[in-house]
């Protein structure tokens, strides 16, 4: 069997959008153009994710407001999940609610205990327009929910409440990149609990 190219091997590392950038805080647009430009974007997203040592990345994290994300993420049994999804829909998010450490490439150096369901299913298409259904448990389910949140204009700090939300705001203000970003936490309103449709600490995508 012929070996496939390593994802991102032909891609370019793009600049990362950080908390407070408007592109991170608005819903992304549906992909309608499946030309070569989409495949280039996906390659660049893989290259950027690997360079930042993340396990997932949404298109708006590189400044492109399209409904696409990539992932290379283990589950709790250390099984590797690798791929991309275009126009993803979170069709199932259920099971036990777990609060686990969650980080984000758009909030570098920070993490917080964030509640997620331990099972998730995402449906969408590939860059070639072929239907795809991805199911995850444990840490990979967290990744899938995290990336779907990004495409709706949410970051994980939007799900925090009480002292966890206050501490996240304090940490952002102290970060060397966070001077203009901290109002984004304060202005987003109260945190959310996991809702349908909507343990490790690697930056999920964010």
* pLDDT tens, position by position, 42-58: 999 999 999 999 999 99
Hey, CA dihedral for 30, 133, 11, 139, is it positive or negative?
positive
63-119: pLDDT as tens digits: 999 999 999 999 999 999 999 999 999 999 999 999 999 999 999 999 999 999 999
- The verdict on pTM exceeding 0.85 is yes
To the query of whether residue 147 is one of the catalytic residues in this protein, the response is yes
Non-local CB neighbours of 92 within 8 Å, separated by 6+ positions:
119, 120, 121, 135, 196
Task: Return the closest-CA partner of residue 30 out of 38, 39, 22.
Answer: 38
CB neighbourhood size of 33 (10 A): 8
Catalytic residue among 29, 147, 152, 186: 147
**CB contact at 8 A, 45 and 57:** yes
SS3 121: strand
Rounded to an integer, what distance in angstroms lies between the CA atom of residue 127 and that of residue 81? 17
């Amino acid at each position: 069997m012929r070996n496939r190219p390593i994802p991102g091997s032909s891609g370019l590392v793009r600049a990362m959008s950080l908390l407070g950038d408007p592109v991170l805080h608005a819903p992304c647009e549906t992909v309608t153009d499946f030309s070569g430009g989409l495949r280039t974007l996906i390659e660049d997203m893989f290259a950027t994710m690997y360079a930042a040592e993340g396990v997932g990345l949404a298109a708006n994290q590189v400044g492109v407001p399209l409904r696409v994300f990539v992932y290379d993420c283990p589950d709790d049994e250390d099984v590797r999940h690798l791929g991309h999804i275009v126009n993803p829909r979170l069709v199932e998010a259920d099971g036990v609610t777990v609060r686990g450490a969650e980080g984000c490439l758009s909030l570098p150096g920070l993490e917080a205990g964030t509640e997620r369901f331990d099972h998730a299913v995402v449906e969408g298409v590939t860059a070639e327009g072929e239907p795809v259904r991805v199911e995850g448990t444990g840490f990979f389910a967290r990744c899938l929910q995290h990336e779907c949140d990004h495409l709706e204009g949410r970051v994980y700090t939007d799900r925090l409440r009480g002292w966890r939300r206050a501490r996240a705001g304090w940490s952002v203000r102290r970060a060397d990149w966070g001077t203009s970003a901290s109002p984004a936490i304060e202005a987003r309103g109260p945190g959310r609990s996991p809702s349908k449709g909507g343990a490790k600490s690697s930056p999920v995508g964010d």
